[in-house]
Amino acid sequence: MDVDAAALAESLREEAKRANERRLVVLAGDRERGYDALESILETLSIPITGTTLVGPDDRLRCEQRRQVNADDLLGTTRDAIAVDAHAELQPNALGKVAGAVDGGGLLILLTPPLEAWPERRGEFDASLAVPPFELDAVTGRFRRRLVETLRAHRGIAIVDLDADRLEADGLTDPAPRLATAAPAPPPEHRFPAAAYEACLTSDQADAVAAFESLLEDGQAVVLEADRGRGKSSAAGLAAGAFAADGEDVLVTAPAARNASELFDRAEELCATLADGSERGPTVESHLIETATGGSVRFREPSAAVDALGSADIVIVDEAAALPVATLDSLLAADRVAFATTVHGYEGAGRGFSVRFRDHLAESDRKVTDCTLVEPIRYAAGDPVEVWAFRALLLDARPPVEPLVADATPESVEYRRLEPNDLLADDRLLREAFGLLVLAHYRTEPNDLARLLDAPNLEARALVHDGHVVSVALLAREGNLPADTRSMMYEGDRVRGNMLPDVLTSQLRDEAAGEPAGLRVVRIATHHAARSRGLGSHLLECVHEEFGGRSDAGDEPGSIDWLGTGFGATPGLLAFWRENGYRTVFVSTTRNDASGEYSVLMLAPTSDDGRALHDRHADRFVRRFAALCSDSLDDLEPDVARAALRSVDADAGPPLALTDFEWDLVASAAYGPGLFAVDPGPFRDLAVRYFVDDPESVALTDREERLLVRRVLQGQGWETVADRLGYHSTSQCMRALGDAFRPLVDLYGTETAFEVRDRFVDE
Ligand X SMILES: Nc1ncnc2c1ncn2[C@@H]1O[C@H](COP(=O)(O)OP(=O)(O)OP(=O)(O)O)[C@@H](O)[C@H]1O
Residue list for the binding site for acetyl-CoA: 524-526
Q: Which of 155, 391, 496, 531 binds ligand ACO (CB under 6 A)?
A: 531
d(CA 456, CA 140): 8
Q: Which of 65, 91, 112, 342 binds ligand X (CB under 6 A)?
A: 342
Q: Which of 34, 132, 156, 229 binds ligand X (CB under 6 A)?
A: 229
Contact track, ligand ACO, 470-509, x by CB under 6 A: -x--------------------------------------
Distance spanning both ends of the chain, measured CA to CA: 106
Q: Residue 92: which H helix or E strand, with range? A: helix 92-101
Q: Which of 228, 523, 583, 684 binds ligand X (CB under 6 A)?
A: 228
d(CA 88, CA 155): 26
What are the DSSP E strand ranges found in 45-91? Answer: 52-55, 64-66, 79-85
What is the per-residue DSSP string for 467-496?
TEEEEEEEEEEEE---HHHHHHHHTT---S
AA letter at 48: P
Q: Is 180 helix (H, G, I), strand (E, B) or coil?
A: coil
Q: Which of 56, 76, 497, 501 binds ligand X (CB under 6 A)?
A: 76
Residue 454: closest CA among 81, 4, 137: 137
| Interface region with ligand ACO, contact rule CB under 6 A, candidates 8-16, 59-67, 262-270, 563-571 | 563-571
Binding partner selected for residue 521 from ligand X, ligand ACO, none, CB under the kind-specific 5 to 8 Å limit? ligand ACO
Helices (H), 373-513: 384-393, 402-405, 420-425, 427-440, 446-454, 483-490, 499-502
Q: Is 535 in the site for ligand ACO (CB under 6 A)?
A: yes
Q: Which residues are annotated as a binding site for ATP?
A: 205, 378
Q: How far is the CB of 327 from ligand ACO (least distance, A)?
A: 21
| Interface region with ligand X, contact rule CB under 6 A, candidates 23-31, 232-240, 574-582, 646-654 | 232-240
d(CA 760, CA 673): 9
Binding partner selected for residue 342 from ligand X, ligand ACO, none, CB under the kind-specific 5 to 8 Å limit? ligand X
Binding partner selected for residue 79 from ligand ACO, ligand X, none, CB under the kind-specific 5 to 8 Å limit? none
Q: Which of 118, 192, 576, 621 binds ligand ACO (CB under 6 A)?
A: 576
Question: Given the complex with ligand ACO, which of 144 and 614 has the nearer CB atom?
Answer: 614
Binding partner selected for residue 480 from ligand ACO, ligand X, none, CB under the kind-specific 5 to 8 Å limit? none
Binding partner selected for residue 232 from ligand X, ligand ACO, none, CB under the kind-specific 5 to 8 Å limit? ligand X
Question: Which letter does DSSP use for residue 555 in this model?
Answer: T
d(CA 701, CA 715): 20
Binding partner selected for residue 667 from ligand X, ligand ACO, none, CB under the kind-specific 5 to 8 Å limit? none
Which sign does the torsion angle of CA 709, 714, 718, 720 carry? negative
Question: Which letter does DSSP use for residue 109 in this model?
Answer: E
Binding partner selected for residue 97 from ligand ACO, ligand X, none, CB under the kind-specific 5 to 8 Å limit? none
Q: Is 362 in the site for ligand ACO (CB under 6 A)?
A: no
Cα Rg of the chain (Å, integer)? 30
AA letter at 703: R
Number of residues that bind ligand ACO (CB under 6 A): 21
413 alpha carbon, distance to own chain's centre = 29
What is the b/e burial string over 29-62, where b = at least 16 CB atoms within 10 angstroms of the residue's CB? bebebbbebbbbbbeebebeeeebbbbbeeeebe
Q: Is 533 in the site for ligand ACO (CB under 6 A)?
A: yes
| Interface region with ligand X, contact rule CB under 6 A, candidates 198-206, 436-444, 528-536, 635-643 | 198-206
Per DSSP bridges, beta strands 220-226 and 336-342 are parallel
Q: Which of 243, 547, 567, 671 binds ligand ACO (CB under 6 A)?
A: 567
Contact track, ligand ACO, 445-464, x by CB under 6 A: --------------------
| CB contact set of 13 (below 8 Å; sequence gap of 6+) | 23, 45, 47, 105, 106, 107
Contact track, ligand X, 356-395, x by CB under 6 A: ---------------------xx-----------------
Binding partner selected for residue 76 from ligand X, ligand ACO, none, CB under the kind-specific 5 to 8 Å limit? ligand X
Q: Which of 226, 332, 470, 601 binds ligand X (CB under 6 A)?
A: 226
Q: How far is the CB of 103 from ligand X (least distance, A)?
A: 6
d(CA 171, CA 168): 9
**Cβ count within 10 A of residue 443:** 20
Contact track, ligand ACO, 398-437, x by CB under 6 A: ----------------------------------------
d(CA 235, CA 203): 11
Q: In what order do the strands lie in the sheet with 517-526?
A: 414-417, 458-465, 468-479, 517-526, 562-568, 598-605, 583-591
Q: How far is the CB of 431 from ligand X (least distance, A)?
A: 23
Contact track, ligand ACO, 502-521, x by CB under 6 A: -------------------x
Question: Given the complex with ligand X, which of 148 and 208 has the nearer CB atom?
Answer: 208
Interaction site with ligand X (CB under 6 A) = 76, 78, 100, 199-201, 205, 226, 228-234, 262, 266, 342, 377-378
Interaction site with ligand ACO (CB under 6 A) = 440, 471, 521, 523-526, 531-537, 565, 567, 570, 572-573, 575-576
